[in-house]
Structure 1
Amino acid sequence: MKKNKLLSILLIFLLFLSGCAGQEKEAKEPKLLTSPYKKTEFLMGTVVTVKIYDEGKEEVLEKAFDRIKYLAAHITVNENEKKSEIDEVNRKAGVEPVKVSKDIYELIQAGEAYSVDTKGSFDISIGPLTNLWRIGFPDARKPEQSEIDAVLPLIDYEQVELNKKEQTVFLKNPGMMLDLGAIAKGFITDEVVEVLKANNVTTAIVDLGGNIYVLGNNPSGRDWTVGIQNPLLSRGETIGKISEKNKSIVTSGIYERYLEVDGKTYHHLLNPDDGYPFNNDIAGVSIVSEKSIDGDGLSTSLFSKGIQGGLEFVENFKGVEAIFISTDNKVYITSGLKKNFELTNDEFELAN
């Protein structure tokens, strides 16, 4: 009898502890705001916005922007000041290896991996060519053919030597230049997401001028609705939408940055093989991936393959989906988006 009574008391005690644990867990659930904390600045030549929906996490905005500014200062190639780590690597091309920070080494390492995966259609050593065209800058111009011919031999990712032990980068030939602009925003976006997670932010949107990351569910508890950019118009104009959480959405388009010369338009996505912008049936491509740097690297390299080649190529990447928009307003999507993508612009046609 006493034994049964003791067991009953123990059971009640365990239920009490379980209830307390449940209440404690419930108490830890973050309270989300319908109107987020928000900060916007013009950095790296684009508008950068971070929105945090977790109540009481406004101070994390400053930490996020501190990280953005730190990385931008170390990555950005500045023609006038030449103060970044990448500037130093370029300055010592053909002379000696340069020791770089862990952040920059990892970024260059990632760029080299994409160069290998795409067999050079994405090439981190494209700097001499982008420095000729300068598309997106006030001094943009169409180079002479002789100038293009002179720099093409300098573009060769296989001549970029990385030493993991020493954390050094060496460009073997004089005149070589790294240009990490094609993946820098993706790398920085991923780093911002890490800052948010480290500070227990559960719900947020990071927007680095076309590199979008949606963290967690939206305040209503559902996936975020993300508009797919119309590559033929300015930012904010969309052709469709998808629903995602904890994903990056990166869009590249031929009218994002361009140069007009004698009535002809030259976009900023340059082909390392011939020195001119890629010329095929792609007007824009959006990449959905877990890492924003993956979206950056793939969105650029896919322009070299055309729509059909690009579709086949991206299907080989696990956890990555893509939306291609053709120059004649047709939309092609990868298999994983068949039940997710919704076309919302009647000027476009879903073609597959």
Structure 2
Amino acid sequence: MKFNSKWTMFFLLFGVLLIVSGCGKKNEARVLVDEPYSRTEFLMGTVVNIKIYNEGKEAVLDQAFDRIEELAAKITVNEKGSEIDKVNAQAGNEPVVVSDDVYELLKAAYTYSSESEGSFDMTIGPLTNLWHIGFDDARKPEQAEIDSTLPLIDYQQVEFDDQEHSVYLPKKEMLLDLGAIAKGYITDEVVKVLKANEVDTAIVDLGGNIFVLGHSPRAENAEWNVGVQNPFETRGEILGSLPVTNQTIVTSGIYERFIEVEGVNYHHLLDPDTGYPFENDLAGVSIVTDKSIDGDGLSTVIFSKGLKAGLDFVNQRENVEAIFVTKDRSVYVSDGLKKSFHLNDDDFTLKN
């Protein structure tokens, strides 16, 4: 059995790398720096980078990273003292009162679980622990192990008390796992910190959750130029680009984390119904929307639906667009991106 190491994850997390740049002439109307204030840290198992272009706002970087570390300590599974771990530890025993931040995130996770009819399930923790893809002890479980784990996965059993802000898992060994939306939630909270400190031109990158705030610093009212990486190549090889401003782009893909067992690759996007990775013709999905938590949740939901159903789902929603890359190197975009997405890699084919 082979598995990709944590350092492979470090550089390829979320596979479809989003490369952000400005275009055009420098805008003299705003007071911006030629080189952004930038800080990079390795947090939550991934690379976090924030760039601020507003002059005199370097100190805001500290506030932004303080907020990231505060939320990560509350949310991260298997983090000593995290609120999610406390809820999991009391499964089958008693409800646990959580902070406003965690309660808000858990209610959002329930909403995504419900809207996806369980293809996204906030209680998938027992299954992700069983496979443990992305860690050194990743393995393909025995069928009997999967069969005994599936009954523990049921978001509908999670009990909320809105007055007490408490959460209860009624079965022992049930486990919450918010990895599919945690970074999106934290990204949005960082953007709130930036806006509260009058930062209006910035890039936030939480391991592939990209948020571009304001307009490109190189031209008045110019959009950022966002490149989408070729998922089958090393970092820096893009297959296309699109203009974006005040929006987020989030990606789910089979190349993010995986294990190889007897010549078969098993990716980390697990189906709560079967206990195995989702099987369809998609290599990756990138979601463009206004909030990163929505991008996170929807990227998993839409990936689970496959190409046709995923496209139909996106085209019926407002303020949500998507780029689909299939295993045969075809690229499909939702209706709202047909005029703006530009494919620049001849190895791929843009389909209507």
Structure 2 length as normaliser, TM-score?
0.90
- In the alignment, the residues of structure 2 paired with residue 288 and residue 263 of structure 1 have an alpha-carbon distance, to the nearest angstrom, of 34
1:190: Cα distance to partner? Answer: 0.3
Aligned twin of 1:124: 122
Larger radius of gyration: 1
Decide whether aligned partners of structure 1 residues 234 and 173 sit closer, same or farther in structure 2, where only a CA change above 3 A counts.
Answer: farther
- In the alignment, the residues of structure 1 paired with residue 285 and residue 227 of structure 2 have an alpha-carbon distance, to the nearest angstrom, of 13
1:239: Cα distance to partner? Answer: 1.2
Aligned twin of 1:288: 288
* Superposition misfits of 4+ residues, deviation over 4 angstroms: none
User: Which structure 2 residues correspond to residues 231-246 of structure 1 after superposition, within 5 A?
Assistant: 231-246=231-246
1:344: Cα distance to partner? Answer: 1.2
Moved more, 233-242 or 334-343: 233-242
Is 1:114 aligned to 2:148, yes or no?
Answer: no
- In the alignment, the residues of structure 2 paired with residue 272 and residue 299 of structure 1 have an alpha-carbon distance, to the nearest angstrom, of 16
Aligned twin of 1:136: 134
Contact 1:229/1:251 (CA < 8 Å) preserved in 2?
Answer: no
Aligned AA (2:86):
E
> Number of matched residues?
323
Aligned AA (2:50):
V
Moved more, 166-175 or 197-206: 166-175
User: Which structure 2 residues correspond to residues 123-272 of structure 1 after superposition, within 5 A?
Assistant: 123-219=121-217, 220-221=219-220, 222-272=222-272
Q: Percent identity?
A: 64
1:137: Cα distance to partner? Answer: 1.1
Structure 1 length as normaliser, TM-score?
0.90
Contact 1:41/1:47 (CA < 8 Å) preserved in 2?
Answer: yes
Aligned twin of 2:86: 88
**CA distances 1:229-286 after superposition (whole Å, capped 9, x unpaired):** 3233344332110101000001111011111111111111000000001110110000
**CA distances 1:163-215 after superposition (whole Å, capped 9, x unpaired):** 11110111111111000000001000000000000000010000011100000
Aligned AA (1:104):
V
Measured on the aligned residues, the alpha-carbon RMSD in Å equals 1.2
Is 1:72 aligned to 2:72, yes or no?
Answer: yes
Aligned twin of 1:25: none
Contact 2:159/2:167 (CA < 8 Å) preserved in 1?
Answer: yes
- In the alignment, the residues of structure 2 paired with residue 46 and residue 302 of structure 1 have an alpha-carbon distance, to the nearest angstrom, of 23
- In the alignment, the residues of structure 2 paired with residue 234 and residue 92 of structure 1 have an alpha-carbon distance, to the nearest angstrom, of 43
Aligned AA (2:85):
D
- In the alignment, the residues of structure 2 paired with residue 86 and residue 150 of structure 1 have an alpha-carbon distance, to the nearest angstrom, of 23
- In the alignment, the residues of structure 2 paired with residue 238 and residue 60 of structure 1 have an alpha-carbon distance, to the nearest angstrom, of 31
Q: Secondary structure at the match of 2:141?
A: coil
- In the alignment, the residues of structure 1 paired with residue 100 and residue 108 of structure 2 have an alpha-carbon distance, to the nearest angstrom, of 12
**CA distances 1:55-76 after superposition (whole Å, capped 9, x unpaired):** 0000000100000011011110
Contact 1:259/1:266 (CA < 8 Å) preserved in 2?
Answer: yes
Contact 1:231/1:254 (CA < 8 Å) preserved in 2?
Answer: no
Contact 2:205/2:211 (CA < 8 Å) preserved in 1?
Answer: yes
Decide whether aligned partners of structure 1 residues 107 and 236 sit closer, same or farther in structure 2, where only a CA change above 3 A counts.
Answer: farther
- In the alignment, the residues of structure 2 paired with residue 155 and residue 270 of structure 1 have an alpha-carbon distance, to the nearest angstrom, of 12
1:298: Cα distance to partner? Answer: 0.7
- In the alignment, the residues of structure 1 paired with residue 233 and residue 98 of structure 2 have an alpha-carbon distance, to the nearest angstrom, of 39
- In the alignment, the residues of structure 2 paired with residue 178 and residue 317 of structure 1 have an alpha-carbon distance, to the nearest angstrom, of 28
Aligned AA (1:88):
K
- In the alignment, the residues of structure 2 paired with residue 291 and residue 235 of structure 1 have an alpha-carbon distance, to the nearest angstrom, of 25
Q: Secondary structure at the match of 2:180?
A: helix
